[in-house]
Amino acid sequence: MAMEYFAGISDTLRITFVQIMILSTLAIIIFLYGMYINLKKWGAGAEEYGGSGTKGSLLAFPRTLIRQMSAEGQHHGQHIIVTLVLDILFQRRILRRSPLRWFMHITIFVGWMALFAMSLLMFLVEMTHMVLHMGPDPEVFREMLSLPNDIFSYVLLTGIIIAIARRLFMQRMRESTIAYDSILLGGLTVITITGFIADGIRNGTFWGMGLHSEWAPPAALFHVIISLLFCIAYIPYSKYIHMIAIPLTLLANKGGE
């Protein structure tokens, strides 16, 4: 049954697709509320140079952003496509400063985005199959995604290992690490490791650590919940907000100084 197959949840745990949908919706609501708070907070700023603060209009931030993006730059101005491709996607500003840090970040970025996109795609295929009774068979589709899933999971893991090593073994990084940084890295690590374990138990690989396949559904459930929590709900309230704020900053400042 396709819906039981979704995220590895089975009837034996009495966790149904609907319940997962409720959890997802809850995560999205928490995310949206957080973004609402952030937009109000950002919108408390002035809309122009030297202006007075406001009580926080939801539209103040988008208006100011658009105005700043369309203003003429002094000498740093560059085309928006260049910013999108080179600064946001390729992250050349990090590469200029530190190739190691760039490699760490780009692997996390690419791994994370690819896994997120594939999860979203899988979800859409399951929904299409369930509601419209059309599109590819979810099980077949899942198998198709199996290899890229593995590849990008390891790409993500590589970045996370470098990030942890830097925080542990580089004195400068270790001394400057605060909870704000640790929670981000800790969350990422937990999501990634639980994903590997859930997949390992289901497929009986090394990552399953020899656990019986009956542990696959709860492991998958834990992975889904923790992913929804960190990947979506927690973004506006933590350092995860940089995933949204940095691209916007680069766009606002035309790629930066």
Partner 1 sequence: MVRDSPSINTNNLTAVQLMELDACSRCGECVLWCPTYDASGKDPGLAPRDKILRWREFMNKSYGLRAKLFGPKKIPEDEIEQFKDDVYGCTTCGMCATVCESGINTVELWEAMRANLVKRGNGPFGKQGMFVKLIGEYGNPYMAAKEERLSWIPDDVVIEDEAEILYFGGCTAELRQKKLAFATARVLNKLGIKFTMLGEDEVCCSSALIRTGQYEIDDIARKAAKANVDGIKKKGAKKVLYACAGCFRASKIDWPRLLGEELPFEVVHITEFLSDLIKQGKIEWKQSIDRTVTYHDPCHLGRHVGVFEAPRHVLRSIPGIKFVEMDRIKDNQRCCGAGGGVKAGIPDLALGVAETRVKDALEKKPDILSSACPFCKRNLSDGRDSLNLTPDELEVEDIIVLAAQALGISLDDCEDQAR
In contact, 3 and 22? CB cutoff 8 Å: no
Phi–psi pair at 29, nearest 5 degrees: -65, -45
Select from 89-97, 110-118, 120-128, 155-163 the region that touches partner 1 (CB under 8 A). Answer: 89-97
Of positions 113, 185, 229, 245, contacts partner 1 by CB under 8 A: 245
**48 touching partner 1, by CB under 8 A:** yes
The smaller minimum CB distance to partner 1, of residues 60 and 122, is found at 60
Select from 64-72, 116-124, 190-198, 214-222 the region that touches partner 1 (CB under 8 A). Answer: 64-72
| Tokens of residue 91, six digits | 């992250």
**113 touching partner 1, by CB under 8 A:** no
**204 touching partner 1, by CB under 8 A:** no
| Tokens of residue 114, six digits | 């690819």
**26 touching partner 1, by CB under 8 A:** no
Closest distance of CB 169 from partner 1, Å: 15
Distance CA 9, CA 119 (A): 15
Which residue from 105, 109, 89, 107 is spatially nearest to 97, judged by alpha carbons? Answer: 105
Distance CA 96, CA 103 (A): 12
Residue 7 DSSP label: G
In contact, 233 and 31? CB cutoff 8 Å: yes
Contact map string, positions 136 to 175, toward partner 1, x by CB under 8 A: ------------------------------------xx--
Single-letter code of the amino acid located at 101: R
Of positions 18, 74, 81, 131, contacts partner 1 by CB under 8 A: 74
Q: Is the dihedral of CA 163, 168, 174, 179 positive or negative?
A: positive
Q: Which residues contact 205 (CB under 8 A, 6 or more apart)?
A: 199
Closest distance of CB 175 from partner 1, Å: 10
Residues at the site binding partner 1, with contacts judged by CB under 8 A = 34, 37-38, 40-54, 56, 60-61, 63-65, 68, 74-76, 87, 91, 93-94, 97-98, 101, 172-173, 176, 178, 180-181, 237, 239, 241-242, 245-246, 248-250, 252-253, 255-257
